[in-house]
Amino acid sequence: MFKKILIANRGEIACRIIKTARRMGIATVAVYSDADVDALYVEMADEAVRIGPAPPAQSYLRADAILDAARATGAEAVHPGYGFLSESQAFAEVVAKTNGLTFIGPSPDAIAAVGDKIQSKKLAHSANVSTVPGFVGEIVDAAHARRIVEEIGYPVIVKSAAGGGGKGLRIARGESELLQAIHSSHNETQTSFGDGRLFVEKFYPEIRHIEIQVIGDKHGNVISLGERECSIQRRHQKVIEETPSSFLDAKTRAAMSGQAVALAKAAGYDSVGTVEFIVDRHRNFHFLEMNARLQVEHAITEMVTGLDLVELMIRVAAGERLPFAQSDVKSKGWAVEARVYAEDPTRGFLPSSGRLLRYRVPPEGQRGDTALRIESGVQEGAEISVHYDPMIAKICAHAPTREAAVEALSDALDETVIGGIRHNIAFLSAVLHDRRFREGRLSTAFIAEEFPHGFRGRAIDAAAKRRFVATAVATELVRRQRASRISGTLNGPNRAGSSFVATIGGEGFAVADAHVNEGRLFLRIDGEGYAAATDWRPGLPILHLREKEKEFAVRIARLPGCCRVSQGGMQTVVCVRDVRAAELATLMPKKAAVDTSKLLLCPMPGLVSSIGVEVGQEVKAGEPLAVVEAMKMENVLLAERNGTIERINVKKGDNLALNDVILEFA
């Protein structure tokens, strides 16, 4: 077994590998860019080596710098994690050819066979694996792409031949979208993986994305570890995954697993890998691609099988045989994973960056018959950089049933507090509470269909409004109690039955007989009694309300005169005022919003990749105006209305902050 390994990656996956290596008694070496000098994984590793500036092309994609670090520290093996160089045949080859180094992953030949999406489709054909219609080869140019589309018809999907994680994926429903897709996908995949090759295949909007986890060793053994349902996606990136899939029957599951194993064996696959399929409503399935690496969502497979896939990768790389046969693999219970991203769901999931001022997650471990697992690469005070993927954490729940696992995950999200940046926790919670999700009626179009006009927060029902009013009143009562105990102030003792007016979005609620005593809260809301237990203290970001049979974790943030509350994907602002103050508040003038309709504002911090218009040019709604690159993704900014360009305030290469004015309309 190796004594020391180098991790050629960063963030959450680097932390994950370090945990397993530490348990196995293996020392670890981290590599870091200038942006990651204070990162959590650098702190966790036994040694750390700087490999370059923040841009991936100058650091994490530099094989020479990584190999220099391995030689300098005496590492015996290199684990690539996922992303960056994890599916690079050239990197695997150079590691394997370096004296004293082993690549912890598939062999270079296996990566060549399946890691390249074009080659993997050719291999699938030869192994009698059902594939998606399309051109099995690289796009030469736009004219070539047009000829392919003439044969298979729109809509199509433009995909990167290398890498994964949604990078380089674009859907095109017409020629103008096809040309833009080719341009953006090429740039994005070249930046992320150093490989700009693309291909085109038919796009099916009404399908599920289900993948099979496989593992092989260097002795010819390949085993399936079951499936993962990954249909909940946005911008072609997975958001929520689960295992097993509630849609598959035993026959389809066996057939998909059989084809996945056949493909892996045909490739001589000798590590952890994932074979991805699309599945239609009749359970017909087609091979999509094979990821020649560890997947982001591997944790839920570990939770239902009891296996450590990172450990197995390391042992297989060291030449050991798989310690079990196919018949030994058992799946127990249900596991669901939610990916917490630094992004703004209310603005089209645009990435967010900045300082993580607050970061609190619930404790991991067993809670009765459910278990919670959190994989993260950040800590409070960390910087979320514009240079890398915006994932903050993966929160996973395991339980005997799907219903219990989803409920446990929902509760865990409510207990997660993030401050300083935009995030998607409210959106994740809304999905988990969605009736269609609860019933298991999933597809890759789920988000577009359930949130056709974008995400604006889950609708707040009557019970939640009462709960939110009670939360805000409880915080006001507790603060007043604390103030009344300060000697020498004008604050008198807290009255036994205080009266207030609480407002939510202009709707008023009359609150009477409000008091909290020894952890018991009672009040009347519009004449109806409400009672709950709470142990909240000023300064805590979460207030727990224990009603009759259910406990709710409500996130709170104090605002001037009000309180922002959120729970279960619902979020709002509650203002609690004394009766007279509420009367006076109705007389305050309303502040008009600033008119920005003639401005194109930068929706996130990023780099201007291109400006597609000129001063004086007339544009129509939907036409591209500019491209801003952030977190390895190209974001095409479109005109929201017809107009004439009056002024352009930026140029290609400029670094922009949120809401910087890119251009102005006449």
pLDDT tens for residues 371-420?
A: 999 999 999 999 998 888 889 999 999 999 999 999 999 999 999 999 99
The Cα–Cα gap between 351 and 606 comes to 9
**Type of residue at 181:** A
Catalytically active residues are: 289
Contacts of 248 (CB under 8 A, 6+ apart): 210, 227, 256, 279, 283
Given CATH 1.10.510.10, say whether it is the number of domain 4-104.
no
Instruction: State mean pLDDT over 75-90.
Output: 95
Residue 44 has pLDDT above 90, yes or no: yes
Provide DSSP, 381-445: T-EE-TTS--EEEEEEEEESSHHHHHHHHHHHHHT-EEESS---HHHHHHHHH-HHHHTT---TT
CB contact at 8 A, 131 and 286: yes
* CATH architecture, domain defined by 133-202: 2-Layer Sandwich (3.30)
**130-152 pLDDT, tens per residue?**
988 776 777 888 888 888 888 88
Which region among 93-97, 157-161, 295-299, 300-304 has the lowest average model confidence (pLDDT)? 157-161
CA atoms within 13 A on the CB side of 59: 20
Band (pLDDT 50/70/90 cuts) for residue 494 is low
The Cα–Cα gap between 42 and 50 comes to 10
The Cα–Cα gap between 615 and 637 comes to 17
Q: Which position has the token pair 């005070």?
A: 381
The Cα–Cα gap between 428 and 433 comes to 9
CB contact at 8 A, 217 and 322: yes
Band (pLDDT 50/70/90 cuts) for residue 589 is confident
Q: Residue 207's closest CA among 244, 164, 167, 155?
A: 155
Instruction: State mean pLDDT over 522-527.
Output: 96
Q: Where are the domains of the chain?
A: 4-104, 133-202, 210-232+244-450, 462-585, 599-665
Instruction: State mean pLDDT over 160-164.
Output: 71
CB contact at 8 A, 329 and 213: no
- Structure confidence at residue 39 (pLDDT): 96
The Cα–Cα gap between 35 and 33 comes to 5
- Structure confidence at residue 33 (pLDDT): 97
For residue 343, what is the enclosing H or E element? Answer: strand 343-344
- Structure confidence at residue 619 (pLDDT): 92
Mean confidence (pLDDT) of the chain: 92
Indicate if the alpha-carbon torsion angle 515, 520, 525, 528 is positive or negative.
Answer: negative
- Provide the 8-state DSSP code for 522: E
User: What is the 3-class SS of 212-241, one letter each residue?
Assistant: EEEEECCCCCEEEEEEEEEEEEECCEEEEE
Band (pLDDT 50/70/90 cuts) for residue 462 is very high
Band (pLDDT 50/70/90 cuts) for residue 198 is confident
Instruction: State mean pLDDT over 482-496.
Output: 68
- Structure confidence at residue 66 (pLDDT): 98
* CATH architecture, domain defined by 599-665: Beta Barrel (2.40)
Helices (H), 11-62: 11-23, 40-44
- The phi-psi region of residue 165 (left if phi > 0; otherwise alpha if psi is between -120 and 50; otherwise beta) is left
- Structure confidence at residue 508 (pLDDT): 94
Contacts of 439 (CB under 8 A, 6+ apart): none
Which region among 347-351, 478-482, 510-514 has the lowest average model confidence (pLDDT)? 347-351
Residue 421 has pLDDT above 90, yes or no: yes
**107-126 pLDDT, tens per residue?**
999 999 997 777 888 899 88
**Of 3.40.50.720, 1.10.645.10, 3.30.450.20, 3.30.470.20, which CATH number belongs to 210-232+244-450?**
3.30.470.20
Instruction: State mean pLDDT over 63-82.
Output: 97
Tell me the C-alpha to C-alpha distance, in Å, between residue 151 and each of 264, 286, 636. Answer: 30, 19, 28
- Structure confidence at residue 566 (pLDDT): 96
**pTM score, two decimals?**
0.85
Q: Domain 462-585, what fold?
A: Glycoprotein, Type 4 Pilin (3.30.700)
